[in-house]
A and B are shown apart, each in its own frame.
Chain A
Amino acid sequence: MSDITIPTSEHADDHSHDHPAWLAHHFDDAEQQFDSGKLGMWLFLVTEVLFFSGMFVAYALFRSLHPEVFVYASQFLNAKLGAINTGVLLFSSLTMAWAVRAAQLSQQKILVSMLAMTLSCAAMFLGVKAVEYTHKWDLGLLPAGMYITQGVAEPNHGNWLQILCIPAAVFAVIFAGWYLFALVGRNRFQLQIAGPLLVASLCFFAGVQLGVFLESGESHGDAHGSGHGATHGDHHEGAGDHAAHAIIVDHMVATSIPGQAFPSEVFVDPKRVGIDEPEINQRGRAGIFFGIYYMMTGIHAVHILGGMGVITWLIVKAARHEFHSKYFGPVDNVGLYWHLVDFIWIFLFPLLYLIR
């Protein structure tokens, strides 16, 4: 078998002189290599699905145990932002699928531009997410351990959004400098990399702008008040929109929380709960929702970041014209990963933002 493999990989060097053969020595042929890579990728996606499953199970368990908490807390999520982000991710999936097609057809220019668009959409997604997160941090809508009771305690205002923008700004400046440098030096290869990266880092700010616009636009007339009301101390206004919700709150007041029937610190530790308000709007209740929310969306965002890393790597390789109809496995596999990230979001979005 080795006598077949070695000449094959030497042939393969034809189109990448400065680079090791794209066919690894232990594979017999390109298709075996592609199939192995692809099966490996699908198995990796399986591990990703099971990795996320933990959080879906946590969501389902606590939803079944405390449905009222989820009804109450999900109104603080802005469905518009979620929907926009869904659209952005779907579009990035389209461009990614197109990129795979371009690689298969050896269309180098389309490949680079499609990868660039995917990267930009990812950055825009994160921009919107940054607005969403920072808005909640401002209101004290935090995981259970840090949750600030809405309308009672004073939330910690901070310049969270600006802080989150700093890394993106730094990247934008670096990439802009690189782009200019490459422009002056007429280095087409570097331009092909710096350009997409610059656009992507700017797209983060586009996302932030979009998010800020939607977040402010929603304050008038949107029934699913995002918690603006709560900051001003009248979160019951938002609650009042839904009769069912009010009933649940009353129910909770009436039945109280377990810790109070037997006076003890067993169920609710007074020093961590702060004000022992027998309602959903407290750490051990709404806080759990936000704990799950941050874990789900946060780990999803980490996957987006990871995806951006590998797409950048693909852009570099694509700019070197490394992919062609015999060797497009990496594009295909990153594509699969990217679609999986989209796949997860398709479930996260309705579970967190829509279902009441």
Chain B
Amino acid sequence: MAHTSVDASAQIDSHGGGHGHGDGEFAHPASLTMLFSVFFTLLALTILTVWQSTLDIGAAEIWVTMGIATVKAGLVILFFMHLLWDKPLNAIVFLSSIIFVALFLGFTLMDAQGYHSTIEIKDTLEASLPPAPADLPVVPSMPTT
């Protein structure tokens, strides 16, 4: 394997982007032990979450399940995608996507909670036709003669 020595370290350092290494070595092979331990942790977490779904833990379920999923996703991102050793910029870039998804989700859910009542007929009846629904006109119906 012919390794080309790139005699441009001065150039590299002066790139504003924040290059860390001037020697041209930028490969960081991950150790197999690390890869396998992450993989088995992920498998264990998968089994855990499937087992946990058979339990009836009520409203907490969504949080527990999503918590496990987040841990798994974090492992993939940090180790398999070696973000842990990557440039901080890349981490910021990826994190920003999560923030914007949260924003999107947050606003739409906030709105959905608020307009729930305009969709559910029960609530609408209570809210907009208060006194006695029986007296009220049903629309559209025909003139009674």
Contacts and interface: CB of A to CB of B under 8 A. Distances in A.
**In their complex, do chains A and B touch, with some C-beta pair under 8 Å?**
yes
Contacts of B84: none
Contact of B93 (A46, A53, A325): A46
A297 B17 CA distance: 37
Nearest to A344: B73
Interface of B is mostly: helix
Given A34-B26, A83-B50, A97 B80 contact: yes
Interface residues on B, range: 35 or more
A258 B105 contact: no
Contact of A328 (B27, B30, B80, B125): B27
B17 A346 contact: no
B4 A12 contact: yes
Interface in B76-121: 76-77, 79-81, 86-87, 89-90, 93-94, 96-98, 100-101, 104-105, 108-109, 112-113, 116, 119-121
Interface in B15-52: 15, 17, 19, 21, 24, 26-30, 32, 35-36, 38-39, 42-43, 46-47, 49-50
A195 B122 CA distance: 63
Contacts of B30: 97, 100-101
Given A31-B19, A339-B76, A350-B66, A94 B36 contact: yes
B139 A343 contact: no
Interface string A16-53: 00000000000011111011001100110110011001
Contacts of A49: 94, 97-98, 101
Contact of A346 (B76, B97, B112, B139): B76
Nearest to A8: B6
A356 interface: yes
Contacts of B29: 101, 104-105
B92 to A, nearest CB: 9
A50 B112 contact: no
Contacts of A28: 8, 11-12
Given A64-B109, A255-B122, A336 B81 contact: yes
A65 B123 CA distance: 13
Given A39-B89, A100-B30, A90 B43 contact: yes
Contacts of B122: 255
Contact of A30 (B6, B68, B104): B6
A108 to B, nearest CB: 10
Interface in A78-122: 79, 83, 86-87, 90-91, 93-94, 96-98, 100-101, 104-106
Contacts of B121: 255-258, 261
A53 B65 contact: no
Nearest to A107: B29
Contacts of A60: 105, 108-109
Interface of A: 1, 4, 8, 11-12, 14-15, 28-32, 34-35, 38-39, 42-43, 45-46, 49-50, 53, 56-57, 60-61, 64-65, 79, 83, 86-87, 90-91, 93-94, 96-98, 100-101, 104-106, 223, 255-258, 261-264, 324-326, 328, 335-336, 339-340, 342-343, 346-347, 349-351, 353-356
6 contacts: A39-B89, A43-B93, A50-B100, A61-B108, A65-B116, A258-B124
Interface of B: 1-4, 6-8, 11-12, 15, 17, 19, 21, 24, 26-30, 32, 35-36, 38-39, 42-43, 46-47, 49-50, 53-54, 61-62, 65-66, 68-69, 72-73, 76-77, 79-81, 86-87, 89-90, 93-94, 96-98, 100-101, 104-105, 108-109, 112-113, 116, 119-122, 124-125, 138-140
